[in-house]
Structure 1
Amino acid sequence: MDAEFWHSRWAEDRIGFHLTDVNPLLVKYWPRVNAQRDDRVLVPMCGKSEDLVWLATHHNDVVGIELSDIAVKAFFAENLYTPLVTGVGSEHVYSFDEITIYQGDYFTVPVAPVDVVYDRAALIAMPQTMRERYVERLLSLVKPGGRVLLITLDYPQSQMDGPPFSVPEAEIATLFKGCKITHLARDDADENHPRRRQGVERFAEEVWLIEV
């Protein structure tokens, strides 16, 4: 997806991917990451996620990357935070206490290495042609011994247009080849789920622990 696609989604408030509360899968499975308070945590393509706030109660250094300035400004405004803003051109850094958000292109913003990554909505936002590049960049930002808590979707791609896209198990194995991959959970939606009611024959969220 090009940058204009996401700028338009935020400008038009078409953000069905945004959760208004903390993701319960984060709360349930974050202990499996074994992250310490002083570990640096990265949330790629973070939007205005409340997950950042939850992570900041557990860690001293939480870093987000987000393309849309609308999303970044909304995050701080909605949480009543007044950030320090630095930067020039199309890229800025917003900082408030434990939270820093780099507003700019995920593939180019200068972010220092991190210990842990939480990815709920980034990999599944990438079409298949961009996923290998996305993961290469992600792993380049993770220190040796780092961990990734990854949430993906599994559904018949031919039955629904993305994003969010389906990223099946075989593709996870290919993308993260060389890492230790642990499948933590799979939550299959019942027939009352909105995606199932739209005619998708199966729709599941999956949780993975990736050890670099």
Structure 2
Amino acid sequence: MDAEFWHSRWAENRIGFHLSDINPVLTKFWPTLNTTRSDTVLVPMCGKSVDLAWLAEKHDNVVGIELSDIAVRAFFSEHFYTPMVTSIGNGQTLYEFDEITIHCGDFFATRVEPVDVVYDRAALIAMPENMRKMYTEHLLSMVKAGGRILLVTLDYPQPEMDGPPFSVTKNEVEQLFAGCKITHLDRDDADESHPRRQRGLSRFAEEVWLIEL
């Protein structure tokens, strides 16, 4: 899966993964991370998520990374923010407004100052299996010792649906974050009325994890 796939999704407004409201998983489980206002928060592959604004109400430094400039510009426009925009080379553009900074460019070519906390709702599950180890290693390289990650994954029979979003099993989470303390916070199994189930999936669940470095 290459960058053009995601550029096309945003250009064609095929963004079913975008939530128009704050993710209830975030509001319910963020307190388990025991954060402080001074903690720097990283949101990889943030899109135009309204979760960024929610996090900015609670933290002085919220950092997003997003490939699509359409998504980044839409985020600031929809919140009536006028960011300072700076080209920083290597195909990267920096958007800054008050507590929020978004690095627009390739995730794997982006480096940020080490952060305290990560919120990953849609990044790991956007990665095909052959990229997930590389993604996790790069993500962990940007987190301080003692940092925490709130991770959301999906569990469903992968042969029954093409991703993204992809299924990431419990065993894979444990392998990817080997050496970290992993706490399973929640599993929400969808009933037959769920849109994914109605499209033919025999099961579909959202899982929430706390990863501690």
Check whether TM > 0.5.
yes
| Dislocated runs of 4+, deviation >4 Å | none
Q: Aligned partners of 1:84, 1:34: CA distance in 2, in Å? A: 31
TM, length-normalised to structure 1: 0.99
Ranges in structure 2 where 5+ consecutive residues have no aligned partner:
none
Q: In the alignment, what sits opposite 2:94? A: 93
Task: Tell me if the contact between 2:95 and 2:103 (Cα under 8 Å) persists in the aligned partners.
Answer: yes
List aligned pairs for 1:28-43, cutoff 5 A.
Answer: 28-43=28-43
Instruction: Give deviations 1:11-63, integer Å, cap 9, x for gaps.
Output: 00000000001000000000001111000000000000000000000000000
List aligned pairs for 1:15-94, cutoff 5 A.
Answer: 15-88=15-88, 90-94=91-95
Ranges in structure 1 where 5+ consecutive residues have no aligned partner:
none
TM, length-normalised to structure 2: 0.98
Q: Aligned partners of 1:51, 1:174: CA distance in 2, in Å? A: 28
Percentage identity across paired residues of the two chains: 70
Q: Aligned partners of 1:178, 1:69: CA distance in 2, in Å? A: 35
Q: In the alignment, what sits opposite 1:7? A: 7
Letter in 1 for 2:34: N
Superposition RMSD in Å: 0.7
Q: Aligned partners of 1:87, 1:189: CA distance in 2, in Å? A: 43
Q: How many residues align?
A: 212
Q: Aligned partners of 2:118, 2:198: CA distance in 1, in Å? A: 33
Instruction: Give deviations 1:71-130, integer Å, cap 9, x for gaps.
Output: 000000000000000015531000000000000010111311100000000000000000
Instruction: Give deviations 1:134-191, integer Å, cap 9, x for gaps.
Output: 0000100000000000000000000000000000000000000000000000000010
Task: Tell me if the contact between 2:111 and 2:142 (Cα under 8 Å) persists in the aligned partners.
Answer: no
Q: In the alignment, what sits opposite 1:151? A: 152
